[in-house]
Structure 1
Amino acid sequence: MPKAVFMDIYHDLRENIEDGTYGYQSFLPSEAELTQLFNCSRSSIRRALGMLAQDGYVQAQQGKGVRVIRNPTITNPAGYNGLETFNELARRRGFVGGTQVLVCEELTAGDALAAQTGFEVGSRLAHILRARTADGRAISTDESYYLASEVPGLTPEIVKKSVYEYLEGVLGIKIATSRRTITIEAATEADERNIDLDGFNAVGVMRSHTFDADGIMIEYTESRQRPGFFSYNETAVRPVR
Protein backbone atom coordinates (compact mmCIF):
# COMPACT_ATOMS: atom_id res chain seq x y z
CA MET A 1 0.00 0.00 0.00
CA PRO A 2 1.54 3.40 -1.00
CA LYS A 3 2.60 5.59 1.87
CA ALA A 4 0.48 8.75 2.22
CA VAL A 5 3.19 11.22 3.24
CA PHE A 6 0.76 14.09 3.78
CA MET A 7 -1.10 12.11 6.45
CA ASP A 8 2.09 11.69 8.50
CA ILE A 9 2.72 15.43 8.18
CA TYR A 10 -0.88 16.17 9.18
CA HIS A 11 -0.64 14.02 12.30
CA ASP A 12 2.75 15.46 13.30
CA LEU A 13 1.59 19.06 12.93
CA ARG A 14 -1.69 18.37 14.70
CA GLU A 15 0.18 16.83 17.63
CA ASN A 16 2.53 19.81 17.72
CA ILE A 17 -0.48 22.14 17.94
CA GLU A 18 -2.15 20.06 20.64
CA ASP A 19 1.00 19.94 22.81
CA GLY A 20 1.72 23.65 22.38
CA THR A 21 4.84 23.37 20.21
CA TYR A 22 2.98 25.67 17.84
CA GLY A 23 0.92 27.83 20.18
CA TYR A 24 -2.49 29.37 19.73
CA GLN A 25 -2.37 32.41 17.39
CA SER A 26 1.24 31.70 16.39
CA PHE A 27 2.29 31.05 12.80
CA LEU A 28 3.48 27.69 11.50
CA PRO A 29 6.82 27.58 9.71
CA SER A 30 6.62 28.60 6.05
CA GLU A 31 5.86 26.07 3.32
CA ALA A 32 9.52 26.13 2.31
CA GLU A 33 10.61 25.46 5.91
CA LEU A 34 8.07 22.66 6.33
CA THR A 35 9.15 21.12 3.03
CA GLN A 36 12.71 21.04 4.29
CA LEU A 37 11.69 19.87 7.77
CA PHE A 38 9.68 16.89 6.47
CA ASN A 39 11.87 16.29 3.40
CA CYS A 40 8.85 16.18 1.10
CA SER A 41 7.16 17.98 -1.77
CA ARG A 42 5.19 21.20 -1.42
CA SER A 43 2.06 19.37 -2.58
CA SER A 44 2.28 17.08 0.48
CA ILE A 45 2.64 20.10 2.77
CA ARG A 46 -0.32 21.83 1.15
CA ARG A 47 -2.55 18.74 1.47
CA ALA A 48 -1.64 18.42 5.16
CA LEU A 49 -2.29 22.13 5.78
CA GLY A 50 -5.58 21.86 3.93
CA MET A 51 -6.72 19.06 6.23
CA LEU A 52 -5.62 21.04 9.30
CA ALA A 53 -7.67 23.99 8.06
CA GLN A 54 -10.73 21.79 7.47
CA ASP A 55 -10.41 20.41 11.01
CA GLY A 56 -10.20 23.88 12.55
CA TYR A 57 -6.54 23.86 13.55
CA VAL A 58 -5.13 26.55 11.27
CA GLN A 59 -6.19 29.36 8.98
CA ALA A 60 -4.19 30.77 6.07
CA GLN A 61 -3.46 34.50 6.24
CA GLN A 62 -2.71 36.00 2.85
CA GLY A 63 0.80 37.44 2.76
CA LYS A 64 1.55 36.33 6.32
CA GLY A 65 1.43 32.54 6.51
CA VAL A 66 -0.65 29.93 8.30
CA ARG A 67 -1.90 30.89 11.77
CA VAL A 68 -2.84 28.42 14.52
CA ILE A 69 -6.48 29.02 15.50
CA ARG A 70 -6.99 26.04 17.79
CA ASN A 71 -6.58 26.65 21.49
CA PRO A 72 -6.37 23.20 23.16
CA THR A 73 -7.36 24.67 26.53
CA ILE A 74 -10.73 26.00 25.39
CA THR A 75 -11.55 24.45 22.00
CA ASN A 76 -13.73 21.35 22.12
CA PRO A 77 -12.72 20.40 25.68
CA ALA A 78 -15.27 17.62 25.97
CA GLY A 79 -16.17 16.31 22.55
CA TYR A 80 -14.53 14.44 19.74
CA ASN A 81 -11.48 15.98 18.10
CA GLY A 82 -11.35 15.17 14.41
CA LEU A 83 -10.78 11.44 13.85
CA GLU A 84 -9.95 10.81 17.47
CA THR A 85 -10.10 7.30 18.88
CA PHE A 86 -11.76 6.47 22.19
CA ASN A 87 -8.38 5.85 23.82
CA GLU A 88 -7.10 9.22 22.57
CA LEU A 89 -10.25 10.89 23.89
CA ALA A 90 -9.73 9.26 27.30
CA ARG A 91 -6.12 10.47 27.47
CA ARG A 92 -7.08 14.00 26.46
CA ARG A 93 -10.00 14.27 28.90
CA GLY A 94 -8.23 12.46 31.73
CA PHE A 95 -10.65 9.61 32.42
CA VAL A 96 -9.99 5.89 32.65
CA GLY A 97 -11.55 4.35 29.58
CA GLY A 98 -12.77 0.79 29.29
CA THR A 99 -13.98 -1.32 26.37
CA GLN A 100 -16.09 -4.48 26.45
CA VAL A 101 -16.36 -6.40 23.19
CA LEU A 102 -19.95 -7.62 22.80
CA VAL A 103 -19.75 -8.86 19.19
CA CYS A 104 -16.83 -9.76 16.91
CA GLU A 105 -17.82 -11.68 13.79
CA GLU A 106 -17.61 -11.70 10.01
CA LEU A 107 -20.71 -11.57 7.81
CA THR A 108 -21.90 -10.79 4.29
CA ALA A 109 -23.80 -7.59 3.55
CA GLY A 110 -27.35 -8.17 2.41
CA ASP A 111 -29.64 -5.53 0.95
CA ALA A 112 -30.60 -3.96 4.31
CA LEU A 113 -27.06 -3.86 5.70
CA ALA A 114 -25.68 -2.50 2.43
CA ALA A 115 -28.26 0.29 2.50
CA GLN A 116 -27.40 1.07 6.12
CA THR A 117 -23.63 1.06 5.80
CA GLY A 118 -22.93 2.09 2.21
CA PHE A 119 -20.96 -1.07 1.43
CA GLU A 120 -21.92 -3.06 -1.66
CA VAL A 121 -24.28 -6.02 -1.43
CA GLY A 122 -22.22 -9.17 -1.02
CA SER A 123 -19.29 -7.43 0.69
CA ARG A 124 -17.61 -9.44 3.44
CA LEU A 125 -17.66 -7.28 6.57
CA ALA A 126 -16.08 -7.54 10.00
CA HIS A 127 -18.85 -6.63 12.47
CA ILE A 128 -17.97 -5.48 15.97
CA LEU A 129 -20.01 -4.05 18.83
CA ARG A 130 -18.26 -2.40 21.78
CA ALA A 131 -19.54 -0.97 25.06
CA ARG A 132 -17.48 1.94 26.41
CA THR A 133 -16.95 3.08 29.99
CA ALA A 134 -15.45 6.25 31.49
CA ASP A 135 -14.21 5.86 35.08
CA GLY A 136 -16.36 2.76 35.37
CA ARG A 137 -19.59 4.30 34.05
CA ALA A 138 -21.16 2.96 30.85
CA ILE A 139 -21.30 5.97 28.53
CA SER A 140 -21.61 4.69 24.96
CA THR A 141 -21.65 1.89 22.43
CA ASP A 142 -19.88 1.70 19.06
CA GLU A 143 -21.19 -0.66 16.39
CA SER A 144 -18.78 -0.89 13.45
CA TYR A 145 -18.53 -2.65 10.12
CA TYR A 146 -15.13 -2.90 8.40
CA LEU A 147 -14.48 -4.01 4.84
CA ALA A 148 -12.86 -7.39 5.50
CA SER A 149 -10.75 -7.31 2.33
CA GLU A 150 -9.05 -4.12 3.57
CA VAL A 151 -9.14 -4.89 7.31
CA PRO A 152 -8.37 -8.60 7.76
CA GLY A 153 -7.60 -10.41 10.98
CA LEU A 154 -9.67 -8.50 13.53
CA THR A 155 -9.92 -10.38 16.84
CA PRO A 156 -11.65 -9.54 20.13
CA GLU A 157 -8.21 -8.80 21.63
CA ILE A 158 -7.40 -6.28 18.88
CA VAL A 159 -10.85 -4.72 19.12
CA LYS A 160 -10.58 -4.30 22.90
CA LYS A 161 -7.19 -2.62 22.62
CA SER A 162 -7.66 -0.32 19.60
CA VAL A 163 -8.84 -1.02 16.07
CA TYR A 164 -7.17 2.13 14.69
CA GLU A 165 -3.87 1.20 16.32
CA TYR A 166 -4.11 -2.09 14.43
CA LEU A 167 -5.12 -0.42 11.17
CA GLU A 168 -2.38 2.20 11.28
CA GLY A 169 0.39 0.41 13.15
CA VAL A 170 0.04 -3.15 11.83
CA LEU A 171 -1.75 -2.93 8.48
CA GLY A 172 -0.25 0.42 7.51
CA ILE A 173 -3.62 1.92 6.55
CA LYS A 174 -3.80 5.72 6.50
CA ILE A 175 -7.14 6.95 7.83
CA ALA A 176 -7.94 10.14 5.92
CA THR A 177 -11.51 11.40 6.23
CA SER A 178 -14.85 10.62 7.84
CA ARG A 179 -18.29 11.77 6.74
CA ARG A 180 -20.58 12.08 9.76
CA THR A 181 -24.26 12.49 10.50
CA ILE A 182 -25.21 13.45 14.06
CA THR A 183 -28.71 13.18 15.52
CA ILE A 184 -30.47 13.00 18.88
CA GLU A 185 -32.71 9.95 19.05
CA ALA A 186 -34.98 8.15 21.50
CA ALA A 187 -33.12 5.59 23.61
CA THR A 188 -33.65 1.99 22.58
CA GLU A 189 -33.88 -1.08 24.81
CA ALA A 190 -30.28 -1.85 23.86
CA ASP A 191 -29.23 1.64 24.96
CA GLU A 192 -30.95 1.09 28.30
CA ARG A 193 -29.05 -2.19 28.74
CA ASN A 194 -25.62 -0.94 27.72
CA ILE A 195 -25.52 2.74 28.77
CA ASP A 196 -26.01 4.41 32.16
CA LEU A 197 -28.73 6.80 31.02
CA ASP A 198 -29.52 8.13 34.53
CA GLY A 199 -33.09 8.97 33.61
CA PHE A 200 -32.42 10.33 30.13
CA ASN A 201 -34.71 8.98 27.40
CA ALA A 202 -32.51 9.99 24.45
CA VAL A 203 -28.96 9.48 23.21
CA GLY A 204 -26.58 11.29 20.89
CA VAL A 205 -26.00 9.24 17.74
CA MET A 206 -23.08 9.70 15.33
CA ARG A 207 -23.04 7.69 12.09
CA SER A 208 -19.67 7.76 10.34
CA HIS A 209 -18.43 6.61 6.94
CA THR A 210 -14.63 6.56 7.07
CA PHE A 211 -12.23 6.51 4.12
CA ASP A 212 -8.55 5.70 3.76
CA ALA A 213 -5.98 7.83 1.93
CA ASP A 214 -6.90 6.12 -1.37
CA GLY A 215 -10.56 7.12 -1.00
CA ILE A 216 -11.76 3.59 -0.20
CA MET A 217 -14.51 3.39 2.40
CA ILE A 218 -13.24 0.95 5.00
CA GLU A 219 -15.54 1.58 7.97
CA TYR A 220 -19.09 2.40 8.94
CA THR A 221 -19.69 3.09 12.64
CA GLU A 222 -22.75 4.03 14.66
CA SER A 223 -21.84 5.53 18.05
CA ARG A 224 -24.59 5.99 20.64
CA GLN A 225 -23.67 8.17 23.61
CA ARG A 226 -25.11 9.20 26.93
CA PRO A 227 -26.34 12.84 27.14
CA GLY A 228 -23.99 14.88 29.28
CA PHE A 229 -21.00 12.99 27.93
CA PHE A 230 -21.70 13.44 24.24
CA SER A 231 -20.59 16.61 22.48
CA TYR A 232 -19.15 17.33 19.07
CA ASN A 233 -17.23 20.33 17.78
CA GLU A 234 -17.12 21.33 14.13
CA THR A 235 -15.38 24.20 12.37
CA ALA A 236 -17.49 25.78 9.62
CA VAL A 237 -15.76 27.64 6.80
CA ARG A 238 -17.67 30.32 4.89
CA PRO A 239 -17.01 30.18 1.12
CA VAL A 240 -15.00 33.02 -0.37
CA ARG A 241 -17.36 35.39 -2.19
Structure 2
Amino acid sequence: MPKAVYQDIYLDLKRRIEEGGFAYGSFLPSESELTTSYACSRSSIRRALGQLASDGYVQSQQGKGVRVIRDPQLDVTRGYDGFETFMEMAERLGFDPHTRCLALENVTADEQLAGLTGFPVGTRLIRALRARYAGDQAVSTDDSYILADLASGLTPELVEAGIYNYLEGELGVGIATSRRILTVEAVTEADERYIDLEGFNAVAVMRSHTFDTNGNMLEFTETRQRPGFFSQYTTVMRPQR
Protein backbone atom coordinates (compact mmCIF):
# COMPACT_ATOMS: atom_id res chain seq x y z
CA MET A 1 0.00 0.00 0.00
CA PRO A 2 1.95 3.08 -1.22
CA LYS A 3 2.07 6.28 0.75
CA ALA A 4 -0.09 9.17 -0.45
CA VAL A 5 1.76 11.82 -2.47
CA TYR A 6 1.05 14.53 0.08
CA GLN A 7 2.68 12.43 2.81
CA ASP A 8 6.03 12.36 0.98
CA ILE A 9 5.83 16.13 0.41
CA TYR A 10 4.93 16.70 4.06
CA LEU A 11 7.87 14.59 5.26
CA ASP A 12 10.33 16.33 2.93
CA LEU A 13 9.21 19.84 3.94
CA LYS A 14 9.24 18.84 7.61
CA ARG A 15 12.80 17.53 7.28
CA ARG A 16 13.97 20.69 5.51
CA ILE A 17 12.47 22.87 8.24
CA GLU A 18 14.10 20.78 10.99
CA GLU A 19 17.47 20.91 9.22
CA GLY A 20 17.28 24.68 8.68
CA GLY A 21 16.70 24.57 4.94
CA PHE A 22 13.69 26.80 5.56
CA ALA A 23 14.72 29.08 8.41
CA TYR A 24 12.52 29.97 11.36
CA GLY A 25 10.47 33.06 10.46
CA SER A 26 10.97 32.71 6.71
CA PHE A 27 8.27 32.01 4.14
CA LEU A 28 7.96 28.78 2.20
CA PRO A 29 7.85 28.95 -1.62
CA SER A 30 4.41 29.71 -3.03
CA GLU A 31 1.89 26.94 -3.69
CA SER A 32 2.57 27.36 -7.41
CA GLU A 33 6.33 27.00 -6.90
CA LEU A 34 5.88 23.95 -4.66
CA THR A 35 3.52 22.36 -7.18
CA THR A 36 6.18 22.73 -9.86
CA SER A 37 9.00 21.62 -7.57
CA TYR A 38 7.25 18.43 -6.48
CA ALA A 39 5.51 17.80 -9.83
CA CYS A 40 2.18 17.25 -8.12
CA SER A 41 -1.30 18.69 -7.83
CA ARG A 42 -2.11 21.81 -5.85
CA SER A 43 -4.39 19.74 -3.60
CA SER A 44 -1.42 17.57 -2.55
CA ILE A 45 0.56 20.70 -1.64
CA ARG A 46 -2.35 22.13 0.33
CA ARG A 47 -2.82 18.86 2.20
CA ALA A 48 0.89 18.69 3.07
CA LEU A 49 0.89 22.32 4.24
CA GLY A 50 -2.25 21.65 6.28
CA GLN A 51 -0.49 18.78 8.06
CA LEU A 52 2.56 20.97 8.73
CA ALA A 53 0.30 23.67 10.17
CA SER A 54 -1.50 21.13 12.34
CA ASP A 55 1.88 19.92 13.65
CA GLY A 56 3.01 23.45 14.48
CA TYR A 57 5.65 23.84 11.76
CA VAL A 58 4.07 26.58 9.65
CA GLN A 59 1.32 29.17 9.78
CA SER A 60 -0.56 30.63 6.85
CA GLN A 61 -0.68 34.42 6.71
CA GLN A 62 -3.31 35.91 4.43
CA GLY A 63 -1.82 37.86 1.56
CA LYS A 64 1.75 36.93 2.51
CA GLY A 65 2.18 33.17 2.32
CA VAL A 66 3.11 30.35 4.65
CA ARG A 67 5.59 31.26 7.39
CA VAL A 68 7.85 28.78 9.23
CA ILE A 69 7.07 28.97 12.97
CA ARG A 70 9.03 25.93 14.15
CA ASP A 71 12.46 26.83 15.53
CA PRO A 72 14.62 23.67 15.76
CA GLN A 73 16.84 25.33 18.37
CA LEU A 74 13.90 25.62 20.76
CA ASP A 75 12.82 21.98 20.39
CA VAL A 76 13.12 19.79 23.44
CA THR A 77 16.28 17.68 23.45
CA ARG A 78 14.55 14.45 24.36
CA GLY A 79 11.26 12.89 23.46
CA TYR A 80 9.04 11.68 20.67
CA ASP A 81 9.41 14.44 18.08
CA GLY A 82 6.24 14.31 16.06
CA PHE A 83 5.69 10.74 14.86
CA GLU A 84 8.93 8.79 15.04
CA THR A 85 9.89 5.31 16.14
CA PHE A 86 12.12 4.52 19.12
CA MET A 87 14.96 3.68 16.73
CA GLU A 88 14.54 6.95 14.85
CA MET A 89 14.53 8.88 18.12
CA ALA A 90 17.71 7.10 19.24
CA GLU A 91 19.43 8.08 16.00
CA ARG A 92 18.35 11.69 16.44
CA LEU A 93 19.42 11.89 20.08
CA GLY A 94 22.53 9.75 19.81
CA PHE A 95 21.94 6.91 22.27
CA ASP A 96 22.29 3.15 21.80
CA PRO A 97 18.78 1.64 21.45
CA HIS A 98 17.74 -1.89 22.28
CA THR A 99 14.30 -3.52 22.36
CA ARG A 100 13.36 -6.71 24.21
CA CYS A 101 10.17 -8.53 23.26
CA LEU A 102 8.36 -9.49 26.47
CA ALA A 103 5.18 -10.96 24.95
CA LEU A 104 3.78 -11.71 21.51
CA GLU A 105 0.33 -13.29 21.40
CA ASN A 106 -2.95 -13.50 19.50
CA VAL A 107 -5.95 -12.01 21.30
CA THR A 108 -9.56 -11.18 20.49
CA ALA A 109 -11.03 -7.90 21.67
CA ASP A 110 -13.59 -8.42 24.44
CA GLU A 111 -15.60 -5.52 25.85
CA GLN A 112 -12.80 -4.43 28.19
CA LEU A 113 -10.10 -4.55 25.50
CA ALA A 114 -12.41 -2.87 22.99
CA GLY A 115 -12.97 -0.05 25.48
CA LEU A 116 -9.21 0.39 25.90
CA THR A 117 -8.10 0.13 22.29
CA GLY A 118 -11.07 1.40 20.28
CA PHE A 119 -11.22 -1.77 18.17
CA PRO A 120 -14.70 -3.35 17.91
CA VAL A 121 -15.54 -6.35 20.08
CA GLY A 122 -14.48 -9.53 18.29
CA THR A 123 -11.56 -7.96 16.39
CA ARG A 124 -8.61 -10.33 16.09
CA LEU A 125 -5.45 -8.60 17.30
CA ILE A 126 -1.78 -9.30 17.89
CA ARG A 127 -0.42 -8.03 21.19
CA ALA A 128 3.27 -7.10 21.28
CA LEU A 129 4.72 -6.02 24.63
CA ARG A 130 8.31 -4.79 24.63
CA ALA A 131 10.80 -3.03 26.87
CA ARG A 132 12.89 -0.17 25.47
CA TYR A 133 16.50 0.39 26.46
CA ALA A 134 18.85 3.34 26.11
CA GLY A 135 22.23 1.72 26.62
CA ASP A 136 21.76 -0.62 29.56
CA GLN A 137 18.88 1.37 31.09
CA ALA A 138 15.27 0.23 30.60
CA VAL A 139 13.47 3.53 30.01
CA SER A 140 10.00 2.57 28.78
CA THR A 141 7.59 -0.14 27.68
CA ASP A 142 5.32 -0.28 24.63
CA ASP A 143 2.22 -2.48 24.77
CA SER A 144 0.70 -2.61 21.26
CA TYR A 145 -2.42 -4.18 19.79
CA ILE A 146 -2.26 -4.51 15.99
CA LEU A 147 -4.80 -5.88 13.52
CA ALA A 148 -4.02 -9.58 13.17
CA ASP A 149 -4.96 -9.65 9.48
CA LEU A 150 -2.26 -7.04 8.91
CA ALA A 151 0.59 -8.31 11.08
CA SER A 152 0.11 -12.09 11.26
CA GLY A 153 3.73 -12.63 10.25
CA LEU A 154 5.23 -10.85 13.26
CA THR A 155 7.86 -12.78 15.19
CA PRO A 156 9.77 -11.77 18.36
CA GLU A 157 12.79 -11.03 16.15
CA LEU A 158 10.77 -8.71 13.92
CA VAL A 159 9.27 -7.00 16.97
CA GLU A 160 12.75 -6.32 18.36
CA ALA A 161 13.97 -5.06 14.97
CA GLY A 162 11.03 -2.64 14.80
CA ILE A 163 7.35 -3.26 14.10
CA TYR A 164 7.13 -0.25 11.78
CA ASN A 165 10.18 -1.51 9.88
CA TYR A 166 8.15 -4.62 9.20
CA LEU A 167 4.83 -2.91 8.43
CA GLU A 168 6.26 -0.16 6.23
CA GLY A 169 9.39 -1.82 4.86
CA GLU A 170 8.20 -5.37 4.22
CA LEU A 171 4.42 -5.05 3.91
CA GLY A 172 4.29 -1.59 2.33
CA VAL A 173 1.71 -0.28 4.81
CA GLY A 174 1.27 3.49 4.71
CA ILE A 175 1.22 4.82 8.29
CA ALA A 176 -0.09 8.38 8.41
CA THR A 177 -1.33 9.75 11.72
CA SER A 178 -1.51 9.02 15.43
CA ARG A 179 -3.98 10.41 17.95
CA ARG A 180 -2.45 10.56 21.44
CA ILE A 181 -3.54 11.04 25.03
CA LEU A 182 -0.82 11.81 27.60
CA THR A 183 -1.18 11.40 31.35
CA VAL A 184 1.00 11.01 34.45
CA GLU A 185 0.16 7.93 36.49
CA ALA A 186 1.37 6.02 39.54
CA VAL A 187 3.79 3.19 38.81
CA THR A 188 2.44 -0.33 38.55
CA GLU A 189 4.03 -3.65 39.42
CA ALA A 190 4.79 -4.10 35.73
CA ASP A 191 6.55 -0.71 35.62
CA GLU A 192 8.70 -1.74 38.57
CA ARG A 193 9.51 -5.02 36.84
CA TYR A 194 10.36 -3.72 33.38
CA ILE A 195 11.54 -0.10 33.77
CA ASP A 196 14.58 1.23 35.66
CA LEU A 197 12.60 3.87 37.55
CA GLU A 198 15.55 5.36 39.50
CA GLY A 199 13.33 6.30 42.44
CA PHE A 200 10.40 7.77 40.51
CA ASN A 201 6.95 6.80 41.78
CA ALA A 202 5.10 7.94 38.64
CA VAL A 203 5.44 7.42 34.91
CA ALA A 204 4.42 9.34 31.82
CA VAL A 205 1.81 7.38 29.87
CA MET A 206 1.01 7.93 26.20
CA ARG A 207 -1.94 6.05 24.67
CA SER A 208 -1.92 6.19 20.87
CA HIS A 209 -4.43 5.27 18.17
CA THR A 210 -2.59 4.98 14.85
CA PHE A 211 -4.17 5.20 11.38
CA ASP A 212 -3.04 4.27 7.88
CA THR A 213 -3.18 6.54 4.84
CA ASN A 214 -6.76 5.45 4.17
CA GLY A 215 -7.89 6.56 7.62
CA ASN A 216 -8.25 3.02 9.04
CA MET A 217 -7.05 2.36 12.59
CA LEU A 218 -4.39 -0.32 12.60
CA GLU A 219 -2.79 -0.08 16.05
CA PHE A 220 -3.32 0.95 19.66
CA THR A 221 -0.25 1.38 21.88
CA GLU A 222 0.20 2.23 25.53
CA THR A 223 3.69 3.61 26.14
CA ARG A 224 4.89 3.97 29.74
CA GLN A 225 7.95 6.18 30.12
CA ARG A 226 10.37 6.92 32.92
CA PRO A 227 10.31 10.63 33.87
CA GLY A 228 13.52 12.47 33.23
CA PHE A 229 14.27 10.69 29.99
CA PHE A 230 11.32 11.60 27.78
CA SER A 231 9.42 14.78 27.08
CA GLN A 232 6.82 15.74 24.51
CA TYR A 233 7.03 18.70 22.12
CA THR A 234 3.55 20.07 21.45
CA THR A 235 2.25 23.07 19.57
CA VAL A 236 -1.37 24.12 20.16
CA MET A 237 -3.49 26.44 18.04
CA ARG A 238 -6.10 28.87 19.38
CA PRO A 239 -9.27 29.04 17.23
CA GLN A 240 -9.52 32.30 15.33
CA ARG A 241 -12.57 34.39 16.22
TM-score computed with the length of structure 1 as normaliser: 0.95
Alignment of 1:145-224 (within 5 A): 145-224=145-224
Alignment of 1:68-217 (within 5 A): 68-217=68-217
Structure 1 position 150, deviation (Å): 3.0
- Cα distance in structure 2, aligned partners of 1:83 and 1:3: 15
Structure 1 position 190, deviation (Å): 0.7
Distance 1:3 1:86, change over 3 A: closer
- Cα distance in structure 1, aligned partners of 2:56 and 2:170: 29
Counterpart amino acid of residue 147 in structure 1 = L
Aligned pairs, how many? Answer: 241
CA contact (8 A) 2:140 2:224 kept: yes
- Cα distance in structure 1, aligned partners of 2:200 and 2:105: 31
Give the match's secondary structure for 1:158. Answer: helix
CA contact (8 A) 2:2 2:174 kept: no
Counterpart amino acid of residue 42 in structure 1 = R
CA contact (8 A) 2:2 2:173 kept: no
Alignment of 1:5-20 (within 5 A): 5-20=5-20
Distance 1:60 1:183, change over 3 A: same
- Cα distance in structure 2, aligned partners of 1:25 and 1:150: 42
- Cα distance in structure 1, aligned partners of 2:92 and 2:24: 17
Structure 1 spans left out of the alignment, 5+ residues: none
- Cα distance in structure 1, aligned partners of 2:121 and 2:37: 45
Structure 1 position 110, deviation (Å): 1.6
Runs (4+) of structure 1 exceeding 4 A deviation are: none
- Cα distance in structure 2, aligned partners of 1:27 and 1:214: 31
- Cα RMSD after superposing both structures: 1.4
Distance 1:181 1:3, change over 3 A: closer
Q: Name the counterpart of 1:237.
A: 237
TM-score computed with the length of structure 2 as normaliser: 0.95
Distance 1:238 1:199, change over 3 A: same
Q: Name the counterpart of 1:226.
A: 226
- Cα distance in structure 1, aligned partners of 2:65 and 2:169: 33
